[in-house]
Chain A
Amino acid sequence: MSPKVIITHLSDLTPPSQERTWLTAPHPTLPIVATCSSDKTIRVYSLTNFTLLSTITGGHKRSVRTAAWKPHMVGESVLATGSFDATVGIWRRWDSYGQEDGAGVGMSCGDKESPADGSTEAPNGTGTGTPDREEDEEWRFAVLLDGHDSEVKSVSWSASGMLLATCSRDKSIWIWEDLDDGDNNFETVAVMQEHGGDVKCVSWHPSEECLASASYDDTIRLWREDLDDWGQVACIKGHEGTVWFLDWEGEDSENWNGLTSDSVSESDLSALQAQWRSQTALSGPRLVSCSDDRTVRVWRRQPKESQQHGALSSATTGIPSIIRPTGTDEVWEEDAVLPHAHELPIYAVAWSKRTGLVASTGADGRIALYEEQFVTREQEQQAGSDAMDTTSGGVLRTDWVLVGVQDGAHGIYEINHVAWAKRADRGSGGEEVLISTADDGSVKVWTVTR
């Protein structure tokens, strides 16, 4: 039997919006999330006690579709929001949520590893808070980025936090540079218009300045800066419908162990893991996508080294360097189609940076979890394929296995988004929770255990 994963409802975020909620963005360091609603507001909730902290109103004239937290901020949080009103809002707030809800976290980023229990006080503890303060005023509207012609669908900050990518039904992707000049000035760095339809999602590489985008034109495209110009370096065709969402593999999924369905000894497993790391190091993090075509697919970049110096790299597998892309062009290949798990369009996919689990959700109201597992020699032989020795130079293969399904996770409602976040409520041990966001406005937090 494959190891199964149990999805358990931990809590709702309350009170919820009464209208469709599109997306939940977990803060990179603080135990808070921002949710985007059709009621034109952004709600900020605590993951410590699952209650509403702030409601940001008055900035957008139509549905708020998307939001993203700027990384590497210290002492202040910066949120970018994208709306159907074609604008992107930038909001700022001095960090003090930790004091307010007594969680003992929040003022500095340095304490993010502090245990969540022990120091936790009652959420309604008196003293530190200023109860009569107007919560909404704490969020300062910084600037409105104007440029798109129609609904903004997605926003994403680059790993450094210097660049913000935005995309729209107007088929364009804009890259803005945060000048960080204390005056909230953003400069337009590039406008890319190669997509043939709405751009549904933009997502930055976890460390490099490489942007991935997904579109109504059924393609995924990758973008990099070459000398001074931003340009397309790859166009991935494979999906047979709108590509709704993208996420990157973590660069250091230390907890993913590629458990096989057969029992493998510890030493064998660590050998497999070492081989896997060297085999995949040159490709870099993979990309996962989900689509209207009811599939979730994983894409891998063909390593440049193997394209150009295939024979020199011991980690390559003798793939002849037939294709020699010029310039910055990259070749991306389909690495896997994940097991079928959805009967309706799949709106979101999330690749855990911590455990390597992939979660997907969509219009069928189902949350599915997938795990990548090594294929052992025994399985290969059973499958009648060539008896490749997985421990002595053969190409190590993996299979994606459906390890958990939660039907009707939000009752009868469609689920628009799913995200991984660090668990922060009392008694948690630093594991992750899954946060799902639905058409009735509800936002649910789930634990994922074996």
Chain B
Amino acid sequence: MAEMQNSNPTIINAADLPTRLRPTATSKSEYGGIFTSALPLAPVDFESAPSSDSEDDNLMEEPIDEQEIYDLISTISDPEHPISLGELAVVSLPDISIKPTLPNVLDSPLQTVTVLITPTITHCSLATVIGLGVRVRLEQSLPSRFRMDVRIKEGTHSTGDEVNKQLADKERVAAALENGALMGVIAKMMETCR
């Protein structure tokens, strides 16, 4: 591999990373997946929706929260260090949010997962690869009703807008998934995922 871009990154002690201390999912089995008021970081900036009396009985899956998203992506390895994205603080729990995709459609099961990525250095050329890895990991792990919104956190990268446009482009992401060389890199990053 070429010269490392950031040979001495700041690393967070694994014991300090966010984890679910309480037991997973409460016993409310059919609890609606759309407006889980129990979310630790429920976003407050979307229009207050009807309370959870309109839960969708058709959803047999467990509710998915930010911690679960974090657990899925924090163990991805950085492409140039054998260190996880969580330990490098490239992804962090407060920068993950889940919102209804169509807040005005009462029974829509669609939800948007937003993940803001903080590159270790502002000119990191690997930001696109990291973002793609996060998006691919989520697409492969989450049910199809989730829409992915993976972006570079504002002000943390010199060409953030360009990277974001690529990451949001469905066609480019689909083509990347068929690109053997690129998927080799992504697969290596995901070797450390459980």
Contact = CB atoms under 8 A, between A and B. Distances in A.
B1 interface: no
A63 to B, nearest CB: 6
Nearest to B102: A343
Contact of B144 (A65, A153, A439): A439
Contact of A84 (B110, B144, B178): B178
A65 B172 CA distance: 12
Interface stretch (A302-310, A329-337, A406-414): A406-414
A200 B171 contact: yes
The DSSP consensus for interface residues of chain A is loop
The DSSP consensus for interface residues of chain B is loop
B169 interface: yes
B110 A63 contact: no
Contacts of B101: 343-344, 364
A176 interface: no
B144 A413 contact: yes
A169 B144 CA distance: 26
Nearest to B178: A62
**Range, interface on chain A:** 20 to 34
B174 A38 contact: yes
Interface string A396-421: 00000000000110001110000000
A216 B165 CA distance: 9
Interface string A142-153: 000000001101
A166 B91 CA distance: 40
B108 interface: yes
A344 B168 CA distance: 11
Contacts of A195: none
A84 B178 CA distance: 8
A73 B108 CA distance: 45
B109 interface: yes
A407 B175 contact: no
B165 A242 contact: yes
B110 A364 contact: yes
**Range, interface on chain B:** 10 to 19
A198 B168 contact: no
Contact of B170 (A345, A364, A408): A345
A363 B147 contact: yes
Given A216-B169, A364-B102, A407-B108, A63 B147 contact: no
Interface string A45-83: 000000000000000001101000000000000000000
A63 B179 CA distance: 11
Interface string A353-366: 00000000001111
B81 interface: no
A84 B175 contact: yes
A408 B106 CA distance: 12
A292 interface: yes
A412 B145 contact: yes
B21 to A, nearest CB: 32
Contacts of B102: 343, 364, 366, 407
B105 interface: yes
Contact of B147 (A65, A344, A408): A344
Contacts of B175: 62-63, 84, 150-151, 169
Nearest to A62: B178
A375 B6 CA distance: 62
Contact of A292 (B109, B143, B168): B168
A63 B144 contact: no
B172 A412 contact: no
Interface in B145-194: 145, 147, 165, 168-172, 174-175, 178
15 contacts: A38-B174, A63-B174, A65-B171, A84-B175, A153-B171, A242-B169, A344-B101, A347-B170, A363-B170, A364-B102, A366-B102, A407-B102, A412-B144, A412-B145, A439-B144
Interface of B: 101-102, 105, 108-110, 143-145, 147, 165, 168-172, 174-175, 178
4 pairs of A and B residues whose beta carbons are closest in the complex: A412-B145, A62-B178, A151-B175, A84-B175
Given A63-B178, A347-B170, 9 more contacts: A38-B174, A84-B175, A151-B171, A169-B172, A198-B169, A198-B171, A344-B147, A363-B170, A414-B147
Interface of A: 20, 38, 62-63, 65, 84, 150-151, 153, 169, 198, 200, 216, 242, 292, 343-345, 347, 363-366, 407-408, 412-414, 439-440
